[in-house]
Chains A and B, each alone.
Chain A
Amino acid sequence: MDQSKNYKNILKLITFAGQIMLENGAETYRVENTIEYLCRASDIETIDSFATPTGIFICIETSDQKYYTTLKRVRRRITNLSKIYQVNNVSRKFAENKMEIEEALTLLEKINTESSSSKLQTIAAAGFSAGFFALLFGGSLWDGIIALGCGALIQYINTVSKFLDNPPIFLLNLLGGAISAAAAVLFAGILNIGSISGIIIGAIMPSVPGIAITNAIRDTIYGDLVSGTARAVEAILVATAIASGVGVVLNTWFLLQGGFTI
């Protein structure tokens, strides 16, 4: 096969693999490792890859001292562990020379376009985990039930908005926080069922950026300072959005009560 075409195909393969992994929430060091691992199957002299949560740069040096470089922007970031697992499988088989480039590319294309688990299932799962978190953090049974409803509703709104090209993440989180607080005020404040903080804690759990802040510190410990900072900023932004939504609603409620402002 024409050698330079071969290199271009490998570059295409590793960029695509890296892009799928980043878009589906893999850690940056794992993306870089996978890219280097994939290159073991070819006669590439050196490979340098630089992955950040928002983009990926790859440069390969071939045995005849030619350089090929590529840059891929990563715009959407969700967590889909199945896809990370499948890309991992493809890369393992390819690196062990059990797979041709064309076959690997077709498989990656299939992984990329494959739809994730059903929307109803995700909505139900978000509801249940919100409910059980309310219970886990010491809420009453009513707190759990109301949090279940809220969590499912917030997930439903997030799912629907995925059809937009560029979903307004900040506004969605703000809305999620406001919905949780509104439900808490309605049930605990007015109808006297459950407790305000118990409901809110459970309901916002599926959207709060606990994983993001932990990964930010983990990236920083590994020396990936750029992605660490990027993830930390993202986590703070999401937390601010949720807290603003909750804050606005609670503030209004306490004002209407004639009491103190929060």
Chain B
Amino acid sequence: MIQQIAYSFFATVGFAYIFNAPKKSIFLTGLIGSAGWITYAYFHHTYTANILGSFAGALVVAILSELAARQYKMPATVFLTSGIIPLVPGGGMYFTMLELIRRDFDSAMSKGTETIFIAGSIAIAIALGSSLFRVKRRKENQGN
């Protein structure tokens, strides 16, 4: 558990550096990445539910990123792009193509479908997370 937190933290921080994120955002981005991964890992180990786990993890990342964005007055993308890195199905994309090259179309189909579903669930979670905040902001504006 602690290992998983540390690994996902450093993997996320590495990406934050590759993406040249603003310096003061990097530590928090690492924590957000860990939080997302732990949420995913919980669903993965308890229910072996990868797609639901990706959705829940991405939702956690999206909400935390929006909160951090307001706190630090930075666009949410700064936290989001690196924060979802441990969850995104890069490995899935690669395995799908590898199975296609191996001409094992059954495996390619199942890997590919899972990859698209995971990417889709992450995308929906992010859209959901940020639209929650958009609704909130609009209400605040109406109040003024």
A27 smallest CB distance to B (angstroms)? 7
Which residues in A have their C-beta under 8 angstroms from that of B96?
A: 239, 243
Choose one: A81, A155, A204, A211; the contact of B22 (CB below 8 Å).
A81
Which B residues contact A (CB, under 8 angstroms)? 3-4, 7-8, 10-22, 25, 37, 74-75, 77-78, 81-82, 84-86, 88-94, 96-98, 100-102, 115-116, 119-120, 122-124, 126-127
> Who on chain B is nearest to A235 by CB?
B93
> Who on chain B is nearest to A83 by CB?
B20
How many residues in A have their beta carbons less than 8 Å from beta carbons of B?
56
Which residues in A have their C-beta under 8 angstroms from that of B37?
A: 136
Give 14 A-B contacts (CB < 8 Å), ordered by A residue. Answer: A81-B20, A81-B25, A81-B78, A125-B16, A132-B8, A137-B91, A210-B91, A211-B81, A214-B126, A217-B119, A221-B123, A243-B96, A244-B101, A247-B98
* Inter-chain contact A82/B20, CB cutoff 8 Å: yes
Residues A210 and B7 in contact in the complex (CB < 8 Å), given A136-B37, A221-B123, A243-B94: no
Which residues in B have their C-beta under 8 angstroms from that of A150?
A: none
CA separation between A27 and B77, bound complex, in Å? 8
Interface segment out of the listed A50-58, A62-70, A114-122, A186-194: A114-122
CA separation between A83 and B19, bound complex, in Å? 10
* Inter-chain contact A243/B19, CB cutoff 8 Å: no
CA separation between A84 and B124, bound complex, in Å? 23
CA separation between A125 and B85, bound complex, in Å? 14
CA separation between A214 and B117, bound complex, in Å? 10
* Inter-chain contact B8/A136, CB cutoff 8 Å: yes
CA separation between A38 and B124, bound complex, in Å? 28
B7 smallest CB distance to A (angstroms)? 4
CA separation between A211 and B8, bound complex, in Å? 16
* Inter-chain contact A126/B98, CB cutoff 8 Å: no
* Inter-chain contact A262/B119, CB cutoff 8 Å: no
CA separation between A39 and B37, bound complex, in Å? 40
Which residues in B have their C-beta under 8 angstroms from that of A20?
A: none
Choose one: B21, B97, B127; the contact of A239 (CB below 8 Å).
B97
Choose one: B7, B14, B89, B127; the contact of A213 (CB below 8 Å).
B89
Which residues in B have their C-beta under 8 angstroms from that of A217?
A: 116, 119-120, 122-123
Which residues in B have their C-beta under 8 angstroms from that of A130?
A: 14
* Inter-chain contact B81/A81, CB cutoff 8 Å: yes
B120 smallest CB distance to A (angstroms)? 5
Residues A243 and B88 in contact in the complex (CB < 8 Å), given A125-B18, A211-B81: no
Which A91-134 residues have a C-beta within 8 angstroms of B?
116-117, 121-122, 124-130, 132-133
Which residues in A have their C-beta under 8 angstroms from that of B7?
A: 132-133, 135-136
